[in-house]
Structure 1
Amino acid sequence: MNSPYKSSEFQNLIRGECVLGEGDELSVINPATEDAVVTILSASAKQADNAVLAAKAAFPAWSALKQNERKAVLAKIAEITKANMNELANLHASETGKPMADAMFEIGATAGFFEFHAHVPTDALDPTDIPNSDAKAYRLPLGVVAAIVPWNFPMALMAFKVPGALLAGNTVVIKPAPTTPLTTLLWASLINEALPKGVINVVADSGDLGPILSAHKDVRKISFTGSTATGKHIMKSAADDLKRITLELGGNDPAIVLADADLDDISAPLFEAGFMNNGQTCSAVKRVYVHQSKHDALVRKLSDMADAAKIGSPLEDGVKFGPIQNQRQFQVVTELLNDAVKQGAVVEAGGYCPEGAGYYLRPTVLSGVKDGHSIVDEEQFGPVLPIISYDDINEVISTINSSSFGLGASVWGTNKDDINVVVNQIETGSVWINKHFPVAPNIPFGGARQSGVGSELGTQGLLEFTQLKIVS
């Protein structure tokens, strides 16, 4: 199949110049067709080093700018992103497999995060007097930030990191995931005109540059979103020179449906929370605990929605779900599904892969599962939603809190007092009431236990790109 894209269109951004990679060939696969969108040259280790050195060289001048001057650059980036939304979204749909509506939404959200930081008050970065002393607190930028971004939301999760880092006065090296580098590379070439040289650098790789950036002596902070296993490796690497880190890791988020929940009200938002981005979202609902009195009815409602959902090519009108993003993840999800069936799970909806090319799996609802089954205990990160019946809410809370995961959770019901009793006992980074993961640039987001270190977004996320300095 002939691709409309050429390899030469996708170049790394280093020191204000778009340069062809000097590393291995990297074929970026369209998960809807299993054909290559395009084959590019990845950046070499030397080019990654050059990107860090370029960011380091740009740091003094960038950090010396006034806040309004940096905000003007962020506003220009947002403007350019919005002006090129259609081109970026078409490419994004091809490499991620997202339906066009979702791809457009992500590009729009990317612009929105930059625009938000272009106008947000920055009082938290101003010097402050410490009461009852002659001391003053300053918030200083750290230096070079390595932003290591996953494949599930390549643009939006980049925008969780980069605007705040830049606003605080840092310079950045972005490394997109090997399976989804194209939209980031194209975007970088478009926004380059708005940037002082070296303030943003982008290097695409085959999976080899993450350790180089994590260990680089001139990188002062790593902001990473991805698996817990990779996060642990980054944490170990950062320990050698005590780099600052923000890690947003695996979630396996639970939803708790209480006995008084109104299923007519909650079923649709709960379905969306479980299957957002085909379940390939760190904070999607990965397991539903529902009171036994509502179990069968909720299973029917969710199954009906799964059966009615249209899956297909990302470019086809009316498609709700595209393919799983890459072959490796497709294998992980289907193996967990097959294992669940062997352990006694009942497939209430979906559970099969349509014939033909593409990493497709129909949205799947499972009953007859319980804690201890791999589909419940592990983060499947795909379009499979296990529904677990309970009769003792305290056992559910204990199970959630004893898990290694602690990113988010949600509680669904009608009695506010009953909801709050549960919410106050759950130990996760976020707990939502009758909704799940209402992301916004002003709300901090981070995980407990092995779901992360630190926070992104909001004032707290902004401060994590700074060093506190006390002068007295």
Structure 2
Amino acid sequence: MENISAAPETQIKETSFLSLNPSTLEVIGEVANTSREEIDDKIEKAQKAQKRWAARPDAERKEIILKVAEALQQNSKHLAAWITREQGKPLSGPGANFEMQACVGWTQVPASLDVPEEIVFEDETRKDILYRNPIGVVAAIAPWNWPLMIAIWQIIPSLRMGNAVVIKPSEYTTFCTQEMIKVINTVLPEDILQVITGRGEVGSYLTSHPEIGKIMFTGSIATGKKVIEASVKNMARLTLECGGNDAGIILPGFDVSKHIDQLFWAAFLNMGQTCACLKRLYVHENDYEKVVKALTDYSSHIPMGDGADEASILGPIQNKMQYDKILDLILDSEKNGADVLFRGQKPDLEGYFIPVTLIGNVDNGHRIVDEEQFGPVLPIIQYKTLEEAITKANNSENGLGASVWSDDLNEAQKVAAQLQAGTVWINQHGAIHPLVPFGGAKQSGYGVEFGIEGLKAVSLPKVISIKK
């Protein structure tokens, strides 16, 4: 999602560019590219603030973060309106207000958790104690699909463990993220959370900066690899969430009617612009028509339009780059013999709208199946045997999430155990939780977020070994 070069000497050439409302294409404002000198200054301030922040008692840091949650709650309507205006997701349904409630929850939970020292070994001769110390300054690269929620995932655990954060929002959703940072900084001590803005070269300079100790990134595989290259300059620790092409398998005989709501939103939450959305659906040939009909009937009743209209439940694609990519994948599938099983009604608006689209007569090997479309398009693939479905589901460079849908939970768990993904859901998909570790397998990244494991990931283990 970001275009980050690994070279720290990259020049920041542009001074500014425009941000657009994806529903109306109106200009929201001009985004400045933060200069290298400004980035240096912000990192230096963050370093000094981090030492003061880490010196505070743990209970005090927890109390401050809980006050951050209160501030987010108090400003949730204001921030949700900004999300809708710049990111595009509707206020209604699982949209901008939903995102803001997630921001509050994912702030409260880390503040409620403790990571105490641990006696890892003790006998009559020695005692070894494992402590978790702050890393220093964390560089956070936030994406455009959930610009506030994912920024919170990066910011709050880092602060909770005594770090400072310098965050770069996506170039496509700068203003809404900045608005949230303003709210958070009414509570936090000065300089502990800094924001820089701009295109990929700004992120390049930040991630390769010698004073960065940890990088948290959510985005594409290609950009994730560039972040890895950048980290060679500073040996920064990494947490990478590089997207997914999540597969779902419906086991034979599944009563889809009981779960159609969950199945639809598994694929089309945030217009499919979610890393852990269902992006490939494998259905037994005997159940294919039934599943297609259920999804078609449900999809035809979900209204799409400008997210500011409370009647809208689905909104636009966030930016033209992604819009063009999705249209290209749909066109390619049609050229190669795919069937458009359903195409929803496109609203009469100028924005980047693509209606919900169900694609049939496709298989592994088609681009629409093999590539992460990251949009409101779902290829539905028929299979004859479960072994075939499992093999095809695993045939991907991605491994973020997967799901199994069945009325037989024991059978579903057997299939889930064979799927290559960081999380496999049963009769749900993308159901993340702030206490449950979340991360990818294969090229979907490494490291985990959320819960105790997520807090450990933004700290340094230190052992003190005592000879008795």
Same fold flag (TM > 0.5)? yes
- Conserved in 2, the CA contact under 8 Å of 1:149 and 1:175? yes
The alpha carbon displacement at 1:213 in A equals 1.1
CA distance in 2, matches of 1:44, 1:23: 10
Q: SS state of the match for residue 302, structure 1? A: helix
Residue matched to 1:50: 41
Most deviating of 46-55 and 157-166: 46-55
| 2:418 pairs with 1:418 | no
| 2:1 pairs with 1:26 | no
CA distance in 2, matches of 1:220, 1:198: 17
- Conserved in 2, the CA contact under 8 Å of 1:280 and 1:381? yes
Q: SS state of the match for residue 461, structure 2? A: strand
Letter of the 2:370 partner, please give it: D
Residue matched to 1:238: 231
Aligned partner (choices 141, 166, 185) of residue 173 of structure 1: 166
| 2:85 pairs with 1:97 | no
| 2:251 pairs with 1:249 | no
Residue matched to 1:9: none
Note the aligned Cα RMSD (angstroms): 1.6
Cα-to-partner distance string for 1:342-401 (whole Å, 9 max, x where unaligned): 111111111775544000011111111111000000000000001000012112212232
Q: SS state of the match for residue 358, structure 2? A: strand
Q: SS state of the match for residue 194, structure 1? A: coil
Gaps of 5+ in 2: 1-11
CA distance in 1, matches of 2:399, 2:228: 18
Residue matched to 2:3: none
Most deviating of 348-357 and 77-86: 348-357
Aligned partner (choices 345, 349, 352) of residue 342 of structure 2: 349
Residue matched to 1:282: 275
Residue matched to 1:15: none
Residue matched to 2:311: 318
CA distance in 2, matches of 1:22, 1:340: 38
CA distance in 1, matches of 2:395, 2:379: 19
The alpha carbon displacement at 1:222 in A equals 0.1
Distance 1:72 1:225, change over 3 A: same
Most deviating of 398-407 and 172-181: 398-407
Gaps of 5+ in 1: 1-20
The alpha carbon displacement at 1:91 in A equals 1.3
Aligned partner (choices 182, 189, 192) of residue 175 of structure 2: 182
Q: Which runs of 4+ in 1 moved over 3 A?
A: 351-356
CA distance in 2, matches of 1:235, 1:85: 34
CA distance in 2, matches of 1:415, 1:194: 49
1:311-390 matches, within 5 Å, as 311-350=304-343, 353-390=346-383
Residue matched to 1:65: 56
The alpha carbon displacement at 1:169 in A equals 0.8
| 2:26 pairs with 1:35 | yes
Residue matched to 2:266: 273
1:428-467 matches, within 5 Å, as 428-467=421-460
The alpha carbon displacement at 1:402 in A equals 3.4
CA distance in 2, matches of 1:466, 1:41: 32
Residue matched to 1:263: 256
CA distance in 1, matches of 2:450, 2:280: 26
Cα-to-partner distance string for 1:216-268 (whole Å, 9 max, x where unaligned): 00000000000000000001111233210000012010010000211111222
CA distance in 1, matches of 2:464, 2:89: 50
Identity %: 38
Most deviating of 126-135 and 193-202: 126-135
The alpha carbon displacement at 1:177 in A equals 0.1
Residue matched to 2:387: 394
Most deviating of 136-145 and 124-133: 124-133
- Conserved in 2, the CA contact under 8 Å of 1:125 and 1:463? no
The alpha carbon displacement at 1:409 in A equals 0.3
The alpha carbon displacement at 1:127 in A equals 4.3
Residue matched to 2:6: none
Cα-to-partner distance string for 1:161-180 (whole Å, 9 max, x where unaligned): 11111111111001100000
| 2:139 pairs with 1:139 | no
Cα-to-partner distance string for 1:150-197 (whole Å, 9 max, x where unaligned): 000000001111111111111100110000011121122223221212
Distance 1:22 1:78, change over 3 A: farther
Distance 1:22 1:103, change over 3 A: farther
